[in-house]
Amino acid sequence: MSPGSVVVTGGGSGIGKACALRLAGYGPVVVLDQDGGAATATLAEIEAVGGKGTSYAVDVTDDEAVAAAVGAAANTLGPPRVLLNCAGMGVRKNLLDTTVEEWRRVVDVNLTGYFILLRHVVPRMKDAGGGSIVQIASIAGHIGYGYPSYTAAKGGVLSMTRQLAGELAPFGIRINSISPGVVRTGINRDTLSQDAIRDATIGNIPVGRLGEPEDIAAVVAFLAGPESGFVTGADLVVDGGMISRIHWGRVSEEFANFHARR
């Protein structure tokens, strides 16, 4: 793959920031985040270790702002060869407590925002001869873990990624997704600050710990790079085994060893 830039949305914090730092070795990084100061801070860390890039304060649901940022970055840093769609947010409310405005905002950021980035990045990536796209989904899209607006949006990311794999392959573009489990980021800071919730969460993760942004960044780097050249339309679950088993609560040990005791 010829040289080009790396576009990262949500790059000011959490998973997006960890990925921006990890992907700096793939080319100059275009850090996009609604919080311009956070995006600039990530860029400063990239430059501190010898990387290059630029940053923009962009709401991924703003079609015109995304078009302007992607165009300006391509003109100065080269065409995008890697795109990480990562910007996200959530509203922790059940169906009947969620307002229409809240639903629309969650779906707009987590799904429509991805679509908008794809519309502006894919033509440039195609003209440059191809590239790799990675989209952050969630285990919520697999098992309904969470709340309906977020679960629906992340399920949409999974389906969109699968559908686009065949559509983009003739252009030399691969597209895959990653479904993180519970990762220690700002979106989870409020719930994980509660001892009971944090302990119960860790208790339901077979490897015995929460995920870190760097855990996700390592898998993103694999999917973005040449080692995954035959992988497209796939989703990699990175959750410490959280959705690999049914959680039986207080009877889990008895259930798992039922025959051993008889």
Active site residues: 150
Q: Which of 52, 59, 5 is nearest to 43 (CA)?
A: 52
Name the β-bridge partners of 235.
Answer: 177
Cα(23)–Cα(21) distance, rounded to whole angstroms?
6
Q: Which residue has the tokens 């996009």?
A: 32
Token output for 203: 């208790």
Sign of CA dihedral 13, 14, 20, 22: positive
Token output for 18: 């960890």
Cα(144)–Cα(164) distance, rounded to whole angstroms?
23
